[in-house]
Amino acid sequence: MPLIILIALIILLRKKSWKILFLIFSFLFPFFLTARFWYGGLYGRYSAFIAYGLPLIIALLPKKIYWLAVISVMITFIPTFSSYQLIKPIPLLEKQLIEKVKISNQDLLILSDYQRPQLTYSNDLYINSNGEDYKKIVQKIDQVLMKNRRVFISQQAITFPYLQYDGQMIHIISQGDKNKALLRNFLTNKQLVKIAEEQRFPLLTIYQIK
């Protein structure tokens, strides 16, 4: 996609289409200003960029390049299409793994905040970026372990805020260093025992904390 934009801009510069270039940059400049602050779920601003700026640029391309752009977009969409149509939904796979564990009401389950919309249980806690919530979760884990009860945790909770599934794909802004995960220091002194796993999707693994 960046290549298409670059080609379009080069063509416009060669044609000296200053009015069109001004129109494009007048749209892009505010967008880049407002998109400086990155956080989970930038789909509103992302869709605003795609819905207006990109179609305008593509419409200005010569016919040959236009069809090349269309075909390129269709080809690059194939992996996404296959992920959503040919693979069982990620939240469902995770749910099935959790069911295998047979968690009782006395046990505690720690999940990632990204898993909250699809996976909800009566005895679960969700790790997020809130410092106060983090302290409560850490304290709760220690309390449950002291009572000799079981504590389970998902792989995504372990690596949070990195390597988080959003739908069938890893969220683009979560593709960071898992060694900087929020719970990393806390879990250093704990033993993680693998309880359930899906070999095709290691990020769905469920562990027991001991």
Task: Give residue-wise pLDDT tens across range 9-23.
Answer: 788 788 887 877 777
pLDDT for residue 58 is more than 60? yes
What are the DSSP calls for the chain, one per residue? -HHHHHHHHHHHHHHT-HHHHHHHHHHHHHHHHHT-S--S--HHHHHHIIIIIHHHHHHTS-HHHHHHHHHHHHHHHHHHHHHHHTS--HHHHHHHHHHHHT--TTSEEEEEGGGTTT---TTEEEE-S-HHHHHHHHHHHHHHHHTT--EEEEHHHHHTTSS-EETTEE-GGG-S-GGG-TTHHHHTTS-EEEEE--TT-GGG-EEEE-
Q: What is the pLDDT of residue 55?
A: 67
